[in-house]
Amino acid sequence: MFEHGTCRRIVSLILIVIWAIWLKKSKVFILNIDQMSDHKMKYPDVATFDLDYTVWPCYCDSHINPPLKPIRSSNGEVRTVVDASGYEVTIYPDIYKILSDLKQNDVKLISASRTWAPDIAKQMLKTFKMSYNGSIVPLTEIFDVSEWGERSKVGHIRDSFKIIYGDTNLDKRDICLFDDEGRNKEVERYGIKFVYVKDPERGATWKLYQDYLKNK
């Protein structure tokens, strides 16, 4: 049998061990909460997308001969179109997921293209269709504004702001541009984050998009 004093010491040691275990678990829990907070995504106010080799893998002004025929998938989406010559274009695989995530987080979407054939690009935006909020909708309904013309992307964005916000003050809002042309990095002089789409085989990918959000 243990003496009374010995029993008290054993109980004290057990309590100390339990306290140490609880304290360690508490620190891990707090650390995990902090990490979750650190990794919380911060979305921009406006996301702008170039089209050729950012959203789809072609130049619509030199590769496409309308009219366009949609190829519907089993869920009703249109990810592939075929032109009059039989040329097939499939939208980059992560684009619908990226656009849907942005829309669900109240981000305004702009398409901005220097294409010489805006009428063809508009047909493509109407023909490609994605699932959003339980409906199948054309990309023309996903983008809030589409801008065209051989001018700077800053000009495209400013004109879009006139339609969306009624002003051209870019400083008031958090803006990004996904684009495959390095020359358009000039937008960063105006406070716009340039997200360089380097891979012509995959376009704007989910990983590129997530890396942009995490590093904001």
Active-site residue, selected from the candidate residues 45, 52, 174, 180: 52
pLDDT at 207: 98
Q: Does pLDDT of 20 surpass 70?
A: no
Q: Does pLDDT of 27 surpass 80?
A: no
Lowest model confidence (mean pLDDT) among 13-27, 109-123, 131-145, 158-172: 13-27
Q: What is the pLDDT of residues 170-208, one digit of tens each?
A: 999 999 999 999 999 999 999 999 999 999 999 999 999
101 is catalytic: no
Residue 7 banded pLDDT, cuts 50, 70, 90: low
Report the DSSP pairing between strands 108-113 and 46-49.
parallel
Q: Does pLDDT of 24 surpass 70?
A: no
In the predicted model, what is the mean pLDDT of residues 113-121?
A: 95
Q: Does pLDDT of 5 surpass 60?
A: no
Q: The tokens 């997308």 sit on which residue?
A: 49
Mean pLDDT of the residues in the chain: 89
pLDDT at 31: 40
Cα–Cα distance, 100 to 213 (Å, whole number): 15
Strand order in the sheet with 46-49: 145-148, 108-113, 46-49, 175-179, 193-196
In the predicted model, what is the mean pLDDT of residues 140-144?
A: 98
pLDDT at 14: 62
pLDDT at 41: 83
Cα–Cα distance, 34 to 50 (Å, whole number): 36
52 is catalytic: yes
What percent of the chain has pLDDT above 70?
82
Q: The tokens 């400083």 sit on which residue?
A: 171
Strand partners, 112: 147
> Sign (positive/negative) of CA torsion 204, 209, 215, 216?
positive
Are 156 and 147 in contact, with CB atoms under 8 Å apart?
yes
Q: What is the pLDDT of residues 30-77, one digit of tens each?
A: 444 444 444 578 999 999 999 999 999 999 999 999 999 999 999 999
Report the DSSP pairing between strands 135-138 and 108-113.
unpaired
pTM of the complete model: 0.82
CB-based contacts of 156, cutoff 8 Å, min separation 6: 48, 110, 112, 113, 147, 148, 149
Active-site residue, selected from the candidate residues 34, 38, 50, 101: 50
Q: Does pLDDT of 133 surpass 80?
A: yes
**Phi, psi dihedrals of residue 107, rounded to the nearest 5°:** -90, 135
Distances (CA, A) of 55 to 15, 34, 92, 166, 173: 62, 35, 6, 27, 24
pLDDT at 21: 65
